[in-house]
A and B are shown apart, each in its own frame.
Chain A
Amino acid sequence: MIEIRFHGRGGQGAVVASKVLAVAFFHEGLYVQSFPAFGVERRGAPVMAFLRLDKEPILLRVNIYKPDHIIVLDPTLIRAVDVTSGLKPNGWILINSGHSPETFNDLKDFRIATVDATSIAIRNGLGSRTNPIVNTAILGAFSKASGLVGIDSIALSIREETPGKKNENAKAAREAYEEVKF
């Protein structure tokens, strides 16, 4: 079983990202379980979402305490919350950031990948300049860095699960796939 935790801010689409990634893995024949942090969400406040995937049916119905990988939608969260809490050694930390992975050398126990999902989102007209929607771009980067899920499955899932701008969202994911650094 693989467990993934998303860190974002309320309104950034972390919960949708978890669902879109779940559906991508589902298309590749895996069992999936996607859920938000069970709480009261507020715009701008740190939020989390979770994803389990397995070749067998998933019976475990509890929170994820020791994720295999982490996806961070907002780089300011790296210093604001303990994003690596419980993260297994050698797990991926994928960060939405214009900086290179070496910038985050203090997280050296883990594998770091970065992608400028904010610029990609703005360039593709997703959200606004002050509030870009980065959740689809980051998934394209996850596909490339982790090698766990194909970019075509991500694009298909985006088309099915996003309410609007399906082409732009899918394009953003493909651009992030090409631009991610690790």
Chain B
Amino acid sequence: MKRVITGNQAVAYGVILSRVDVISAYPITPQTTIVEELSELIASGRLKTKFLKVESEHSAMAALIGASTGGVRTFTATSSHGLAYMHEMLHWASGARLPIVLVNVNRALGAPWNIWGDQSDSLSQRDTGWIQLYCENNQEVLDTIVQAYLIAETVRLPVMVVLDAFVLSHTAEAVEIPSIEEVDSILPPFCPDYPIDTQEPRAYSVITTPDYFLEFRYKVQKAMEQVPEVAKKVDDEFKARFGRGYGAIERYGKEGAKVLLMTSGTVTSTSRTVIKKLVEKGLSVAGIKIKRFRPFPSEEICEAIQGAKKIAVIDRNLSAGVGGIFAQELRASLYSREERPPVFGFVSGLGGRDITPELIEEAIQYTMEHPQPEGDIVWLGLKR
């Protein structure tokens, strides 16, 4: 069934279709309507999911850590300050190897106050041991939630699904909504390894001395290293069932292009129109969409950029003192390669300012005209 729904409604559908057992969340703009939608369904009895009301995001994640340890499928959603407030619990969820799925609607962090789209919230959680998947449209949002449970429950790591504030969360477009039976056919019930069982009492996450802590983290890393293969298998099976697949990255535009543009989230969607127009004009340009940020798809990117002379990256985020975070990760991925095209790190659209086709074209133009960028950051659309 195809319906015109917002990105936040697509999240709610993804959660319903994944037969989530326990939800705990605290409202924050622009995530609020996800929780409104789900809690209304639960209150009216149409959705048999347990909703745990909490006084903060920190408690929401703590509640899910308990529920997931108990052996049930769990979900939460947040944004910005809410995600930051969860921070220590995010580490705990991955360390305890709990397959929790969290939706983060990207929003800037204050000060100054801002409720609009900016990836600094999710990217500042990049070292918490969570898999991170970014979405480009509402269909991808729904599909990614189902895929997230499949990946999380296979590798035993939590997954953060990320969508842009307003541009997806509050924007309605047509989305194909699969039936719950169709989703059941690829998403089996969650089978925990060590559920809480009073007949077989266990202790969980007890104090672990330096003798063993390193090995616990080694196993988290090994689980992360399984993700590319597992995620590919999940995506292939999803595509075989529903006809839609996404990959860790996607290359589009001209074959063998000299200049590449790397983007994530909805900026990719707008970039597709720009790249199409420039290729039709005869320019040697192509785009690379990054869907999976953690683990970073270095292998896939290095394969996709072969032959490129320059790479432009547009970051809607800033690690002050360094620059855009996607550009930084790309530079790190390229270092051990023989082929190292210069990376042009554009920073734009912070706090929800539009990244227009004109700005994207300006970034590509700049990259074509300059042999090297004039610094680690090239500001795009900055008022001076």
Smallest distance from the beta carbon of B39 to chain A beta carbons, Å? Answer: 17
Given contacts A22-B4, A62-B354, A62-B355, contact A33 B273 (CB under 8 A): no
Q: Which among B122-130, B170-178, B235-243 touches the partner chain?
A: B170-178
CB-defined contacts of A62 to chain B, threshold 8 Å: 167, 270, 354-357
Select the residue from A26, A59, A63 with max chain B CB neighbours within 10 A.
Answer: A59
Smallest distance from the beta carbon of B45 to chain A beta carbons, Å? Answer: 19
Smallest distance from the beta carbon of A53 to chain B beta carbons, Å? Answer: 11
A150 to B190, CA, bound (A): 47
From DSSP, what is the main secondary structure of chain A's interface residues?
A: mixed
Q: Which among A35-43, A99-107, A121-129, A169-177 touches the partner chain?
A: A35-43
Is the C-beta of B328 less than 8 angstroms from some C-beta in chain A? no
Residues of A within 8 A of B (CB): 19, 22-23, 26, 31-36, 38, 40, 58-63
Q: Give the top 9 A-B pairs by smallest Cβ distance, nearest first.
A: A38-B166, A35-B171, A61-B266, A34-B172, A62-B354, A59-B269, A61-B269, A59-B272, A33-B173
Q: Assess the A38–B352 pair: CB atoms within 8 A.
A: yes
CB-defined contacts of B224 to chain A, threshold 8 Å: none
A116 to B357, CA, bound (A): 39
Chain A: which residue is nearest B117 at the CB level? Answer: A38
Of B172, B354, B357, which is within 8 A of A33 by CB?
A: B172
Is the C-beta of B109 less than 8 angstroms from some C-beta in chain A? no
Chain B: which residue is nearest A161 at the CB level? Answer: B4
In B1-54, the 8 Å CB interface with A consists of: 4
Of B172, B355, B356, which is within 8 A of A19 by CB?
A: B172
Interface string of B136-174 (1 = CB under 8 A from A): 000000000000000000000000000011111011111
Q: Assess the A35–B170 pair: CB atoms within 8 A.
A: yes
A62 to B355, CA, bound (A): 7
From DSSP, what is the main secondary structure of chain B's interface residues?
A: mixed
A60 to B356, CA, bound (A): 9
CB-defined contacts of B134 to chain A, threshold 8 Å: none
CB-defined contacts of A34 to chain B, threshold 8 Å: 4, 171-173
Q: Assess the B174–A32 pair: CB atoms within 8 A.
A: yes
Q: Assess the A35–B166 pair: CB atoms within 8 A.
A: yes
Select the residue from B4, B167, B173 with max chain A CB neighbours within 10 A.
Answer: B4
Of A19, A22, A40, A60, which is within 8 A of B115 by CB?
A: A40
Is the C-beta of B116 less than 8 angstroms from some C-beta in chain A? yes
Q: Assess the B270–A60 pair: CB atoms within 8 A.
A: yes
Q: Assess the B4–A19 pair: CB atoms within 8 A.
A: yes
CB-defined contacts of B115 to chain A, threshold 8 Å: 40
Smallest distance from the beta carbon of B106 to chain A beta carbons, Å? Answer: 13
A59 to B274, CA, bound (A): 10
Taking A22-B172, A60-B269, A61-B269 as given, write out 11 further A-B residue pairs in contact, using a Cβ cutoff of 8 Å, ordered by the A residue number.
Answer: A19-B4, A23-B4, A31-B174, A35-B172, A36-B166, A36-B170, A38-B166, A40-B115, A61-B168, A61-B270, A62-B355
Of A22, A23, A60, which is within 8 A of B357 by CB?
A: A60
A59 to B138, CA, bound (A): 12
In B191-242, the 8 Å CB interface with A consists of: none
What are 17 A-B residue pairs whose CB atoms fall within 8 Å in the complex? A22-B4, A26-B4, A32-B4, A32-B173, A32-B174, A34-B173, A35-B166, A35-B172, A38-B166, A38-B170, A38-B352, A59-B269, A60-B270, A60-B273, A60-B357, A61-B266, A62-B355
Smallest distance from the beta carbon of B253 to chain A beta carbons, Å? Answer: 13
Of A22, A23, A36, A59, which is within 8 A of B270 by CB?
A: A59
